[in-house]
Amino acid sequence: MEIRAYEPTDEQGWVRCRVLAFLDTAYYDNVLQHKEKYEHPAIELVAVIDGAIVGILDIEYEVKEKTVCSRGTGLGGMIWHIAVHPDYRRKGIASKLLQRGEEIAKEKKLNRLEAWTRDDEWVNLWYKKSGFKQVDSYLHVYLDGNKELSGHIGTEDRHLIPIHAFAHYVGEERERMKRNFKRVHDCVCYEKVVG
């Protein structure tokens, strides 16, 4: 296996890897057709086996404090994507990508990495085993159909009819949200000190 910098010619393999890696997670419908481009500098890595991209890691990082990360002091990096193709899981690929990402982060004088994920138990366990600490959370709430939208989402234009909505819930009544809506996910922030 080779871990190397992402190249523009990797885009199709990157997208395929990400789509397949996310299919059996709480992010199953977060589909991208193109690789994201970042406003700030980024550490972009791929894991390659026999010419195929089997793992990805993107860390957008700060050159000025508080421009990418949501917490902490000093310069940080935000892990936007870390994923392994399902046929290659449990081979240490994500850990090797993270290790290389951390080495580069240290070279860039970053002092921490931040990552947000949803409530997939195995993903959260991986972050914890990788030395991350949970530092924050809120809810991702999906509202679907008239019953769930009624009284929560509306419009002043009678010709514009909401069908689906996605919202962040940052209040204290999390259990009520989970009871009232079919699809609710904990969105958890992890942080790891590097350097």
Residues 50 and 146 in one domain: no
Residues 9 and 105 in one domain: yes
Residues 62 and 155 in one domain: no
Q: What is the pLDDT of residue 146?
A: 84
Helix (H, G, I), strand (E, B) or coil at 151: coil
- Cross-strand bridge partners of residue 5: 45
For residues 65 and 49, the answer to whether their CB atoms sit within 8 Å is no
Domain termination residue (choose one: 87, 113, 131):
131
Q: Is 176 part of a structural domain of the chain?
A: yes
Residues 86 and 166 in one domain: no
pLDDT mean values, one per 10 residues, the chain (195 residues): 98 98 96 96 98 98 94 93 97 98 97 97 98 97 91 90 95 96 97 91
Residues 61 and 77 in one domain: yes
Provide the number of structural domains found in the chain.
2
Residue with tokens 């997939």: 120
Q: What is the pLDDT of residue 154?
A: 86
Q: How far is CA 148 from CA 27, 34, 83, 119, in A?
A: 20, 32, 32, 22
Q: What is the pLDDT of residue 112?
A: 97
Structural domain of 84: 2-131
- Cross-strand bridge partners of residue 66: none
Q: Provide Rg for the chain, Cα atoms.
A: 18
Q: Is 27 part of a structural domain of the chain?
A: yes
